[in-house]
Structure 1
Amino acid sequence: MKTDLIYEQQGNNVVIFNVFPFDLEQTLDCGQSFRWCRVSDNTWQGVAHGRIMKIAYNEGSLTLFNTNTDEFNKIWRGYFDLDRDYAQIIETIKSDRVLTKAVEYAGGIRVLRQDPWETLCSFIISQNNNIKRIKGIIQRLCMHFGEQIGEGFYTFPAPEHLAKLTAGDLSPIKCGFRAKYILDAAQKVAEGRVDIYNLHKLPITKARERLMAIYGVGPKVADCTLLFGCGFIEAFPQDVWIKRAMKVLFDGSLPDVAKPYAGIVQQYIFHYARITKLEI
């Protein structure tokens, strides 16, 4: 982990210096989060942890608009995983020929540390779905059941709120068969049967087991929640692309050098597989 993060308050903004590697598009539009949109070539805006954030990246400097250093340290520093030494991780995994090529396609990705409940609900919605439709369902969910915090911006609805609803109540968000999964998740989290905000304290196998007690949550949704919402970077979600990539590129087993960072490496492999169609 890095300990030399350099940042300062500049007016209403916080600027973080020497952030390498980092790519906003690769990080915010790669399918790990669904509430960000591009507002210009190097600027994105979205909602996370109940706050609206606009962010820009240019030549190693990351600018967070309309915030302060206290909020940066409390929320955004961890959200963007800025204390992790991604350059060192990349250098380590480059001892593998295939991973060296994979990093060339998406080496600017950082694994976000999102709200665990929002992550779980989002990846329940993601099942048998595409990114455009996922974003639409989540936007409608927030509009109908979240709180407005700005023009066109809403918080993600709390599990306690959704737990009181019926499948019929969710019909305006057009989530189809996933409604019953969302409600079961909300009820189990609201009632404390799944203590989602303390899963990070458990061994990964136990945490995965707790999540899979939710109706409709299988290994992939559980591992996405663990990786993107609970900080388990050893979690390794597998969709059809990853399963195929593992078979074609690695004979079914992740190289040992990558296993401590399996979740981060998964992102490199996923984008390499999608872009190249697994051409070697």
Structure 2
Amino acid sequence: MPPMIKTLSRPPFPSGWGSIPTTLSNLSLSNTLPVGQSFLWHKRTLPAAGPDEPLEEYSRAIRNPCRVIFLRQSIHRLHYVSLLPDGSTSKDEETRQWLEDYFQLVDYPDLSLLYKEWRDRDTELFGKIEFDSKAIGVRVLRQDPWECLISFITSTNNHITRISSLMHKLSINYSKPLFTIEQFEGSSSITYHPFPIPEDFPDSFETNLRQLGFGYRASFIESSIKSLRQQFGSNPGSIEKGLVDLRKKDLDVIKECLISLKGVGRKVADCVMLMSLDQPSLIPVDTHVASIAARHPSFPSRLRNKTMSKQMYDDIQLFLADRWGPLGGWCQAVMFAADLPPIRPVSKLAQIKAEVSCSVSDESTLFESKNIVMVDQIIQDVEPISVAKSRSKRSKPTSDGAENGVVLEHKRTRRVSGMPKSPS
């Protein structure tokens, strides 16, 4: 019989919570957490309160020590508290330091200065965008490299809602629950599981991941963990330490380590390096970012209507880096988030189509043609399965991982008008 899971109550707000002074324009939880960087945050709408009271709550389990962090945001403060499995609460300096590191509040204390720099550097595109309230306060997270790596391997040819679902399934099936939290009236309770550590995975688990819905990505994850064990060892904590230590290495060394893993192409590697390995200049390029680049008045005509390749990836990345500077990855995050379409549920047929069209090869993908945010595109592009199979056979990966048949088309410059509403 499985052990009983404790049910706890969240600490009273605001008396039991700590807070960090910060404005919504300097950090927006709703514009940073649900937009395709991190996939294990739970979002809950709070009961109606006063005009300056938080409207949403974000929470997730973390380790060292195992606990659940709760976040709420008012106009001028980020409120936080940790709840431990024994029922005790903490608003201590350790949690505050974790948040300051995770949101990079100390290294980049004033986003307005960065936005101004990008407007000055790129007057033709960034400088002409009218950002509304949904496009402010966007930050690049400094995540745990182990979790970030597995997340973005899972992101291959996927979308935010499904990646989040798969990452939660991974946590539920491979790590022990901490406790269950009672929710507000009308909401279901949440049982929190921390992200599994490498030791939680057996030598062979691909079949189980396929049963959970990971599809061909299951072999990527199993193979990558085997490779990491060979490279960093099998002792507890050795893989996590090995990945964290990459932050001290040269860019070429980091990239070589990541690209050697099955399921890690250029875009996945760049995402992991930007969002967990202290490489703020890197600009991951996918169809979404490429379409943003194509709207730039100075975008080279030779790059328009071309099939994506390793050289194309490099050229687009260099074009944007020249305009956005040493924090180009952060600028990309703002543009990326501001340009997201509204997220809506993806039909089962759309998921099947994406799965079938990607199952012809286990090679890592340099350029994911249906990236993690193109929810509208995935829904609209649904074809009969027979057609999808035929199209997939004509689009085989090349030796460098690029997919033939992915064409970058020019789109007219338009106003970027806000962020998507993330599903609760």
- On whether the aligned pair clears a TM of 0.5, the verdict is yes
* Structure 2 gaps, min length 5: 1-13, 46-54, 83-89, 181-190, 233-238, 300-315, 343-410, 416-424
**1:165 and 2:204 correspond:** yes
Task: Give the corresponding residue for 1:145.
Answer: 174
- Determine the C-alpha separation between the residues in 2 that align with 1:94 and 1:136: 36
Choose which of 242, 245, 260 in structure 2 pairs with 1:213.
Answer: 260
Amino acid across the alignment from 1:204: L
Alignment of 1:33-182 (within 5 A): 33-40=38-45, 41-49=55-63, 50-66=66-82, 67-83=90-106, 84=108, 85-95=110-120, 96-97=122-123, 98-102=125-129, 104-105=131-132, 106-151=135-180, 152-162=191-201, 164-182=203-221
Query: Identity across aligned pairs (percent)?
Result: 26
* Contact persistence 1:160–1:186 (CA under 8 A): no
Any runs of at least 4 consecutive aligned residues in structure 1 with deviations exceeding 6 A, and if so which? none
- Determine the C-alpha separation between the residues in 2 that align with 1:87 and 1:102: 15
Task: Give the corresponding residue for 1:24.
Answer: 29
* Contact persistence 1:159–1:187 (CA under 8 A): no
- Determine the C-alpha separation between the residues in 2 that align with 1:138 and 1:101: 37
Following TM superposition, by how much is the alpha carbon of 1:260 offset from its aligned partner in structure 2, in angstroms?
A: 0.7
* Contact persistence 2:140–2:330 (CA under 8 A): yes
Amino acid across the alignment from 1:171: R
- Determine the C-alpha separation between the residues in 2 that align with 1:114 and 1:134: 16
Following TM superposition, by how much is the alpha carbon of 1:140 offset from its aligned partner in structure 2, in angstroms?
A: 0.8
Q: TM-score, normalised by structure 1?
A: 0.88
Task: Give the corresponding residue for 2:231.
Answer: 192
- Determine the C-alpha separation between the residues in 2 that align with 1:46 and 1:166: 25
* Contact persistence 1:24–1:42 (CA under 8 A): no
More helix by percentage: 1
Out of 101-110 and 179-188, give the one that drifted further: 101-110
- Determine the C-alpha separation between the residues in 2 that align with 1:147 and 1:239: 35
- The C-alpha deviation readout for 1:55-103, integer Å capped at 9, x for no partner, is 1111121101233333234422101111113221112112123213447
Distance verdict in 2 for CA 1:107–1:216, change over 3 Å: same
Q: CA RMSD in A?
A: 2.3
* Structure 1 gaps, min length 5: 1-9
Distance verdict in 2 for CA 1:99–1:91, change over 3 Å: same
Amino acid across the alignment from 2:59: Q
Q: TM-score, normalised by structure 2?
A: 0.60
- Determine the C-alpha separation between the residues in 2 that align with 1:234 and 1:48: 27
Amino acid across the alignment from 1:185: S
- Determine the C-alpha separation between the residues in 1 that align with 2:129 and 2:414: 11
Task: Give the corresponding residue for 1:14.
Answer: 18
